[in-house]
A and B are shown apart, each in its own frame.
Chain A
Amino acid sequence: MNSPLDILTLQPPEPVARPAQPFDVRRIRADFPILGQQVQGRPLVYLDNGATAQKPRAVIDALSHYYTDQNANVHRGVHHLSQVATDAYEAARRKVATFINAASDREIIFVRGTTEGINLIAQTFGREQIGEGDEIIITEMEHHSNIVPWWMLCREKGAKLRVIPMNDRGELCLDTYQTLFSSRTKLVSVVHISNVLGTVNPAREIVQIAHAHGVPAHIDGAQAVPHQRVDVRALGCEFYTFSGHKMFAPTGIGVLYGCETYLDTMPPYQGGGSMIQNVDFDNITYGNLPNKFEAGTPNIAGSIGLGAAIDYLNSIDFDGAAKYETNLLEYAHDALRGVPDLKLIGTAERKVGVISFTLSDIHPHDVGTILDQAGVAVRAGHHCAQPIMKHYDIPAATRASLAFYNTREDIDALVSGLHSVRKIFG
Chain B
Amino acid sequence: MSDLRELYQQLILDHNKNPRNFRVLDPADRFAEGYNPLCGDKVQIYLQLHGDRINDIGFQGSGCAISKASASLMTETIKGKTLGETETHFKNFQAMLTDPSSNLDLDQMGKLFVFAGVRDYPTRIKCATLSWHALRAAIENVQTPITTERDNS
Measured CB to CB, the residues of A under 8 A from B are 362-366, 369-370, 373, 380-382, 386, 389, 395-396, 420, 424-426
B124 within 8 A of A: yes
Main secondary structure of the interface of A (DSSP, over half): helix
In the bound complex, do residue B4 and residue A365 qualify as a contact, i.e. CB atoms below 8 Å apart? no
In the bound complex, do residue A425 and residue B38 qualify as a contact, i.e. CB atoms below 8 Å apart? no
Which of B1, B3, B62, B123 lies in contact with A395, CB distance below 8 A?
Answer: B62
Bound CA span A365–B38, Å: 12
- Which residues does chain A contribute within 8 Å of B124, judged by CB atoms? 365, 369
In the bound complex, do residue B8 and residue A366 qualify as a contact, i.e. CB atoms below 8 Å apart? yes
Bound CA span A381–B39, Å: 5
B80 within 8 A of A: no
In the bound complex, do residue B40 and residue A424 qualify as a contact, i.e. CB atoms below 8 Å apart? no
In the bound complex, do residue A373 and residue B4 qualify as a contact, i.e. CB atoms below 8 Å apart? yes
- Which residues does chain A contribute within 8 Å of B116, judged by CB atoms? none
- Which residues does chain A contribute within 8 Å of B83, judged by CB atoms? none
B7 within 8 A of A: yes
Query: What are some 27 contacts across the A-B interface (CB < 8 A)?
Result: A362-B65, A363-B64, A365-B39, A365-B41, A365-B64, A365-B66, A365-B124, A365-B127, A366-B64, A366-B66, A369-B7, A370-B8, A373-B1, A373-B3, A373-B4, A381-B40, A382-B40, A386-B40, A389-B40, A395-B62, A395-B63, A396-B40, A420-B4, A424-B1, A424-B5, A424-B13, A426-B13
The chain B residue sitting closest to A389, CB to CB, is B40
Other CB < 8 Å A-B pairs besides A369-B4, A386-B40, A395-B62, 8 of them?
A362-B65, A363-B64, A363-B65, A364-B64, A369-B123, A380-B39, A395-B63, A424-B5
Shortest B2–chain A CB gap in Å is 10
Contact with A along B19-41 (1 / 0, CB 8 A): 00000000000000000001111
How many chain B residues sit at the interface, stated as a range, is 20 to 34
The chain A residue sitting closest to B10, CB to CB, is A426
Measured CB to CB, the residues of B under 8 A from A are 1, 3-5, 7-8, 13, 38-42, 62-66, 68, 121, 123-124, 127
- Which residues does chain A contribute within 8 Å of B4, judged by CB atoms? 369-370, 373, 420, 424
Bound CA span A382–B40, Å: 7
The chain A residue sitting closest to B42, CB to CB, is A395
- Which residues does chain B contribute within 8 Å of A396, judged by CB atoms? 39-40
In the bound complex, do residue A425 and residue B13 qualify as a contact, i.e. CB atoms below 8 Å apart? yes
Which of B5, B63, B121, B123 lies in contact with A363, CB distance below 8 A?
Answer: B63
The 10 closest A-B pairs by CB, nearest first: A363-B64, A365-B64, A366-B65, A366-B64, A395-B62, A424-B8, A382-B40, A373-B4, A381-B39, A395-B40
Shortest A49–chain B CB gap in Å is 19
The chain B residue sitting closest to A363, CB to CB, is B64
In the bound complex, do residue B40 and residue A420 qualify as a contact, i.e. CB atoms below 8 Å apart? no
Shortest B59–chain A CB gap in Å is 16
Which of B1, B3, B65 lies in contact with A420, CB distance below 8 A?
Answer: B1
Bound CA span A88–B113, Å: 58
Bound CA span A229–B147, Å: 57
Bound CA span A396–B65, Å: 13
The chain B residue sitting closest to A370, CB to CB, is B4
Bound CA span A386–B68, Å: 21
